[in-house]
Structure 1
Amino acid sequence: MTESHQAARRLPRRIADMLLALVAAVGLLLGAGLTAPAADAAPKKPRVPAKAMDAVATMQPSWNLGNTLDAFPNETSWGNPLTTRAHLAKIRAEGFRSVRIPVTWTDHQSATAPYAVDATFMDRVEEVTDWALDEGLYVVLNVHHDSWQWVGKMSTDHDNVMARFNSLWKQISSTFKDKPRTLLFESINEPEFENATAEQKDTFLNELNTSFHKIVRDSGGQNTNRMLVLPTIYCKPDQPLMDTLHNTIRSLNDPHLIATVHYYSWYPFSVNMAGGTHYDEAARKDLDGAFTRMHDTFVARGIPVYLGEYGLLSWPDHHHPSRVERGEALKYFEHFGYAARRAGVTTALWDPFAYLNRESFQWRDQELFDLIKSSWTTRSGSTSFDRLFVPKSGRITDQSLTLNRNGLAFQGLWHGNQRLAAGSDYTVSGDKLTLKAAALTRLVGDRSYGDNATLQARFSRGQAWKIHVTTYDAPQQSGAKGTTSALTIPTRFRGDQLATMEAKYGDGTNAGPADWTAFQEFNISFTPDHKGNTITLTEKFLTSLRDDAPVTLTFYFYSGAKVTYQVTKSGTAVTGSTA
């Protein structure tokens, strides 16, 4: 906590808030040359509906203050600045109605009896919570990374874990018992238990949730009927896990209980491995199935669902190339918003730093956020891919994409402010959108490598869909030498974009750390640098290879091009050559 925060804490709350808001604004003006967002003088405080189902509905949409109070050892350790009230005002102004505040207590709580929480840290958690409440936001406060740091050791340290967990919730309950009912408590984030069977895990979680419920209810004040959020194991939306949670909630016979799960898409798509390069039928089916289960298990039975985290694993990540092709990621977020509305589930975007830039108060990717925001209320259309690849040389021919109308009417194509002519520039037959050769020839111009034009497909509602017209040639690679620390393969992408990498030994078996699939994980086994014209094989991939056993790599590109390459490891030396 900074000196300004410490000084402000010694003043009355109203004066403290004014001072801290001023400090935040001045810091922004001087440090970033930007103006802090204006906040309403008196944000409207929500009236909490009597029924939990109605109350959770008013919390939609929600946002996570991720990698902040859940970071360790301190709030700024994971790269985010100290949270100010201005951050919460920004979130409210952008249309969010609730905020989840993850908190990791481990480094601020004694590991031995009486398991006291550091008063300064508790004050800081209360301060941030109060700002959010004063901004008229619902707040979900939880116990976060403690789940794997010490709570997960219940099978070997049961009594100490329970005593520490109970003491923690007694202290939290006492501190926050007089806060309004717009504050919710979540018992534990993504609970996991080491060295335990599935049955034991169910028993442990039921014990934690039941004890949490009794402690909060017995603490008095607003806690007697505060809404409480209970998770499944790992917060997964798997049917057996949700059935177990449903049984726990029913056994507690409390109308103010909420179920929570998380969703990060079908795993192969979310991390781009095992062939998950597109938001295809398998990925869509996984999402639809998850929301159907949430609805049928909880919502249809009168139990609200707060989906506490969603997104794509490690995407967007501004420190590495995106694992998931941009248009395919946009399709996922659009579909997610629609499915959540249809299922009656309130959703909280997991934002560790990747969406809102907390220094500039700007969205890092405004187009992405606009689509997410649009998905709260309506659908948006798309096409089967967001890119048309035109060869560098030779005759240009007609190219087609499939329209994903999503119940909307297709209104046409635009290039900037110029509307393309239906019939001569493009045709539509059913859901088949065809760009004519003459229009593509005009759009690519001199056919320099890369994107030559960007079109907009517009629909009757929602966000416009971008289609990039790209000139390419088949990528080319050359030999390389390196060590097991890394091998950098010279790669002339020539306008193309890498989709995935397949790795196999000569006997046909899979090569790489993920030996259950030939298609290795993007940014974990390999990572491209499209601007630098290289593909790097990582230490994790190379050290997993067998000595003196040549591996054939097949690089798949989004144009449909394939390039094969051979890599051999011998001790710590690695050589690569074109196949």
Structure 2
Amino acid sequence: MVAAAASVCGLASQTPATATAQSSASQIVADMGAGWNLGNQLEANANGYPSETAWGQPTVTQALIDKVKAAGFRTIRIPVSYLRDIGPGPDYTISSSWLNRIQQVVNYAYNRGLYVLINMHGDGYKTVNGSWLICDSSSQATIKARYQKAWQQIASKFQNYDQHLILESMNEEFDGQYGRPTQPCYSNINSYNQIFVDTVRKAGGNNASRWLLIAGWNTNIDYTAGNYGFTLPTDRYRSPSVPAGEQRIMISVHYYSPWDFAGEESGAITQWGRAATNPSKKSTWGQEDYLDSELKTMHDTFVVKGYPVVVGEYGAIDKSSFDSSNNRYRADFARAVVATAKKYGAATVYWDNGANGQYGFGLFDRRSSTVTHQGIIDAIMSGVGSK
């Protein structure tokens, strides 16, 4: 997210899953536990240059990350934008000061034993100043060269980090139109994923065996698991130390369904799930049965073949100013997403944009490093099975 049937092309060419592969996939998902997004920080920008305070958040501190860990989260996703901090070709050198700050924030979590996900977040949004990773642009040769050079630098920077660091190829990459995937845009997304895997694997250190997270069209479940053009990248440069048949690639999707409850900024739909008391305040779709069906599709398409699934974003905005019971349904939604994902072998990472109050996703006050929605946190921990 940015502020303000089940046949998969290319899957048949992959090594068939084994008990080892499924065991590896289930183990990493179990170890990751409940996840949390440091949203609207390192992907924020001012005039196309990354700036962690540009969207109204304070500078990220160790105290905040310690509070997130103390709340029970074991994974932190750190969305990152690079934008105009990538220099001109042919080297496309990323600003050293920006890479160093990314590393510092990563270390806040990594040095506490947490899993950390970093990605390339806002570079693919047409609405973001300085964006360039545009899948329907005519400048694909330049885009792919910049993308390859950027990930080469990022992966080299983190080459000595162990498997607690997971790299994610992109964020919600698509053509900006909310409809069926188009070509050649989807083919270009597949190419980005292949460049990402090849580049990271060859970048030295632990990258040859690192878990890598890739996304399909707009991190949409149907357009990733269905027959719309998604292709799994080959992993030809993976370390020979990884057991044969074991995958080290994860699939990223996001879940904000139904959008009129989870994200639409109005007071019309404020309740969700079987416990809703006012039918007129509950969406006509996207309830527990839909959630189950969507995550079962990801399980049947990827998890059973040894590819873990990560619901890298989910959550629902605060509409308690319209309905005093809203936070209870936000908690019900969070618990259901986490529990259903666990049922189908997927990890989950709650989207926190740092905003509290009306339409905010925030669970913490980042200035005081305090919890603002303990009820939602409790629901998440209940869903994942943590005390």
> Would the TM-score normalized by the shorter structure come out above 0.5?
yes
Larger Rg: 1
Q: Residue 252 of structure 2: which of 257, 260, 273 is its match?
A: 260
Instruction: Tell me if the contact between 1:181 and 1:226 (Cα under 8 Å) persists in the aligned partners.
Output: yes
Separation (CA, whole Å) in 1 of partners of 2:352 and 2:318: 10
Of residues 258-267 and 187-196 in structure 1, the stretch that sits farther from structure 2 once superposed is 187-196
Q: Residue 301 of structure 1: which of 302, 305, 309 is its match?
A: 305
The CA deviation at 1:166 is 0.9
Is 1:179 the counterpart of 2:161 in the alignment?
Answer: yes
Separation (CA, whole Å) in 2 of partners of 1:316 and 1:230: 29
Separation (CA, whole Å) in 2 of partners of 1:216 and 1:304: 19
Is 1:118 the counterpart of 2:112 in the alignment?
Answer: no
Change (3 A) 1:275 1:94: closer
| 1:220 counterpart residue number | 204
Is 1:82 the counterpart of 2:59 in the alignment?
Answer: yes
The CA deviation at 1:297 is 1.2
Separation (CA, whole Å) in 1 of partners of 2:109 and 2:228: 29
| 1:248 counterpart residue number | 231
Separation (CA, whole Å) in 1 of partners of 2:150 and 2:190: 17
Residue identity opposite 1:160 in structure 2: T
Secondary structure at the aligned position of 1:139 is classed as strand
Structure 2 residue runs of 5 or longer lacking an equivalent are 1-21, 126-130, 239-246, 274-283, 355-361
Secondary structure at the aligned position of 1:230 is classed as strand
Q: Residue 141 of structure 1: which of 115, 118, 132 is its match?
A: 118
Change (3 A) 1:109 1:83: same
Is 1:191 the counterpart of 2:173 in the alignment?
Answer: yes
Instruction: Tell me if the contact between 1:151 and 1:193 (Cα under 8 Å) persists in the aligned partners.
Output: no
Change (3 A) 1:51 1:337: closer
Instruction: Tell me if the contact between 1:72 and 1:107 (Cα under 8 Å) persists in the aligned partners.
Output: no
Change (3 A) 1:225 1:322: farther
Give the fraction of aligned pairs with identical amino acids, expressed as a percent.
Answer: 30
CA RMSD in angstroms, aligned pairs only:
2.8
Separation (CA, whole Å) in 2 of partners of 1:194 and 1:295: 27
User: How many positions carry a matched residue from both structures?
Assistant: 327
Is 1:330 the counterpart of 2:331 in the alignment?
Answer: yes
The CA deviation at 1:274 is 11
Change (3 A) 1:59 1:197: closer
| 1:371 counterpart residue number | 379
Change (3 A) 1:268 1:244: same
Separation (CA, whole Å) in 2 of partners of 1:55 and 1:182: 10
Structure having the larger proportion of residues in strand: 1
Of residues 188-197 and 332-341 in structure 1, the stretch that sits farther from structure 2 once superposed is 188-197
| 1:67 counterpart residue number | 40
Instruction: Tell me if the contact between 2:315 and 2:333 (Cα under 8 Å) persists in the aligned partners.
Output: no
Once the two structures are superposed, the pairs formed by residues 398-547 of structure 1 within 5 Å of their partners are: none
Secondary structure at the aligned position of 1:346 is classed as strand
- Summarize deviations over 1:341-365 as a string: whole Å, max 9, x none: 2112110011111111112222212
The CA deviation at 1:293 is 1.2
Structure 1 residue runs of 5 or longer lacking an equivalent are 1-48, 379-461, 463-579
The CA deviation at 1:176 is 1.0
Secondary structure at the aligned position of 2:213 is classed as strand
Q: Residue 164 of structure 1: which of 146, 151, 154 is its match?
A: 146
Secondary structure at the aligned position of 1:259 is classed as strand
- Summarize deviations over 1:73-95 as a string: whole Å, max 9, x none: 31111122111222222222211
Separation (CA, whole Å) in 1 of partners of 2:231 and 2:377: 36
| 1:343 counterpart residue number | 344
Q: Residue 83 of structure 2: which of 96, 106, 109 is its match?
A: 106
Residue identity opposite 2:37 in structure 1: N
Separation (CA, whole Å) in 2 of partners of 1:86 and 1:50: 35
The CA deviation at 1:199 is 3.2
